[in-house]
Amino acid sequence: MVENRLNSSSATLAEGGRGQGKEGKRERRGEEVGRAGRGRGGGEDSGRGAEEASIAGEQSRQEAGCRDSRKRDSDGVLGFSLCTVRLALQVMALAAAAPLCSWLLAAYVSSAVGGLTGDDTPVTGAPGRRSRRRRSARLKQLTGDGWAPFSMAGNFLAGGQAGSLSCGSLVAFCGSSFSGLGSCLTFEGCPEYHKQPQIFADCMPAFFGDGLAGLKPKSLRAARRHPKARAGKAVAIAVQPVRETSEKKKLATKPRRVVVTGMGVVSPLGHNPDSFYENLLAGQSGISEIEGFDCKDFPTRIAGEIKSFSTDGWVAPKFAKRMDKFMLYLLTAGKMAVEDGGITDDVMKELDKTKCGILIGSAMGGMQVFNDAVTALRTSYRKMNPFCVPFATTNMGSAMLAMDLGWMGPNYSISTACATSNFCILSAANHILRGEADVMLSGGSDAAIIPIGLGGFVACRALSQRNSDPTTASRPWDSERDGFVMGEGAGVLLLEELDHAKQRGAKIYAEFLGGSFTCDAYHMTEPHPEGAGVRLCIEKALAHSGVKPQDVNYVNAHATSTRAGDLQEYKALMRVFASNPELKINSTKSMIGHLLGAAGAVEAVATIQAIRTGWVHPTINLQSPEKEVDMNVVVGDKKQRLDIKVALSNSFGFGGHNSSVLFAPYNEKNEN
């Protein structure tokens, strides 16, 4: 291909030479005609003939001069075309030199046209003004405005001042090391590049100025498609490699870190993170007989029900009357987390609200609102709550909270049954890590202790029927357990990018390290018999967080008090952490029951409080442990002192959804 183009270009030169010969002949014929006219004619005819011959000769000489000028310009452009065609092919062939081809273009052309002599002899001639304009216009047509900001390279390639590019000027830009890069400048093998790449990196910006970024990646292909280039005729082109490896290296950015700066909780054991955890440390149970409705006909009549709750100061009365309780819990816990995080009205005004988001989910959504709508529909659709549809959807809680706060960042909900909260927490943290948000409210909320909710779980035989002694009904890992106990409430964490939190002087409770999701892909409600999905989830969470198994010394387990689930999780934990003698495991559900979609967030609050206080709460009702359970690992009926290094919190849900998240004490010494 190269030989064909060179032969074609040589033919172009030959055609130009033949054309010059023909023009010379015509000029001589004009002079002969003039002489003949003077010889034959006389008088007026003779004078007129001589005058016409003289004019014809002068015009012929002027045309010849213009043709010579155009030929010189064409020769210069043609030489450039031949070089650049050859250069384009060699750029693709020599991958090692590809990052440098834009810079080497000028140097190589200078070598091909005039030779690098080692002095300051210009390598270009002084093309005419009209030629420079034509060439510059053609270059701009091919490359856009990319040539405009070029310095020396632009002056040379676009037909700038004479002598603007020379070997000496290259040395001036690139330093004395330029002399050792001769092979690179002629596009031979270039071992010097691999030995001294910094020479090129330092030289390119100075030589090209800001124009280096202006070249368009399609310039080379555009030039190849140009009809004159295919025909071998002179045409000015600009070469930019398809692989844009010559771009400036991206500056290393500091990894973003996520910290917890606020917490909000609504639970059977209190509506404040401190009082909630104090009750947990005391081993107090929040499980009692259901009072919200008549459940005498149900085999299960106990739950972790919230007895007293007020939305005063948190939710507008006009909404509080019509909203489902899951949404009331969500809004209250969310605003509590904002307040706990020190985001006052003044701080709120300074926040970039486009980078503040909310991701709070629910497993069951607005069940009561939906149930009421069905009841009203039996009479007439006119009796239905006009907000029954939006207030029943799981995403509306996050949306309503965003409306109250004015936060315009990422906003949605996730529903993965009882693993919902952890999915939301990890997803919210990822928005911060990716730079899409600086602040995120995340967690979960559920309020399913209503006839349809209780009846549904009774129907699938999942609930404990220890009605005579509600406080002992939830008993994870105990051999006498007979099912889980329903609970209700909400938990919300205020997650924040570390530097953002420090800049506003926020109190940092803990650092979020990472987490993972997996799926058992086994059964709709039963866990995998070997705990394969749970083990995989924990291992992936450790890998994602850069944490070793021996670094984790506390696990807040999912442990719901079911026959199958408790032991499968325990066995998976032992397979991962068997070599860790410091490991402690407990279950928050032994005291508050299973809060469904809110469980993970409420237990995350308990986990962070354990990190803050140095105390892990007991697992109550563990009176007759399963024989596989090591009570040196599982925390029994008394709280224990523990200096937590890394804490793991698990949540699993119907459908085989598994989730694990990791928290650790915030340590300023770990900052780089």
Inter-CA distances, 328 with 298, 323, 369, 438, 445, Å? 27, 7, 12, 26, 9
Per DSSP, helices labelled H in 504-531 are none
> Rounded CA gap, 577 and 662, in Å?
14
Which amino acid is residue 274, in one-letter code?
D
| 3 state DSSP class of 220 | helix
Is 558 a residue of the active site? Answer: yes
Name, in order, each residue with C-beta under 8 angstroms of 315's C-beta and a sequence gap of 6 or more: 323, 328, 331, 332
Nearest residue to 487 via CA among 626, 650, 282, 292: 292
Element (H, E) at 16: helix 2-40
Nearest residue to 243 via CA among 93, 90, 139, 92: 92
* Active-site residue identified among 271, 500, 558, 657: 558
84 token code pair: 């650049």
| 3 state DSSP class of 270 | strand
132 token code pair: 């420079």
* Active-site residue identified among 418, 424, 528, 657: 418
Is 66 a residue of the active site? Answer: no
Nearest residue to 116 via CA among 212, 211, 187: 187
Name, in order, each residue with C-beta under 8 angstroms of 32's C-beta and a sequence gap of 6 or more: none
User: Would you put residue 413 in left (φ > 0), alpha (ψ -120 to 50) or beta?
Assistant: beta
Q: Do residues 443 and 421 make contact, with C-beta atoms less than 8 angstroms apart?
A: yes
Is 184 a residue of the active site? Answer: no
φ and ψ of 442, to 5 deg: -145, 150
Place of tokens 């949540």: 651
297 token code pair: 């006909």
Q: Dihedral, CA atoms, 567, 568, 574, 577, nearest 10 degrees?
A: -130
Strands 411-412 and 356-361: parallel
Rounded to 10 deg, the angle between the 167-174 and 197-208 helix axes is 110
Q: Do residues 496 and 439 make contact, with C-beta atoms less than 8 angstroms apart?
A: yes
Strands 657-664 and 646-653: antiparallel
User: Would you put residue 652 in left (φ > 0), alpha (ψ -120 to 50) or beta?
Assistant: beta
522 token code pair: 């086994």
For the residues of 86-123, what is the DSSP string, one character each?
Answer: HHHHHHHH-GGGGGGHHHHHHHHHHHHHT---SS---S
**What do you get for the CA distance between the two ends of the chain, in Å?**
55
φ and ψ of 303, to 5 deg: -170, 165
* Active-site residue identified among 271, 431, 500, 594: 594
> Rounded CA gap, 32 and 21, in Å?
17
Residue 649 pairs in a beta bridge with: 556, 661
Strands 439-446 and 356-361: parallel
Burial readout 614-650 (b: 16 or more C-beta within 10 A, e: otherwise)? ebbbbbbbbeebbeebeeebbbeeebeebebebbbbb
Nearest residue to 497 via CA among 433, 404, 426, 420: 433
- Would you please indicate which residues are annotated as catalytic (active-site) residues? 418, 558, 594
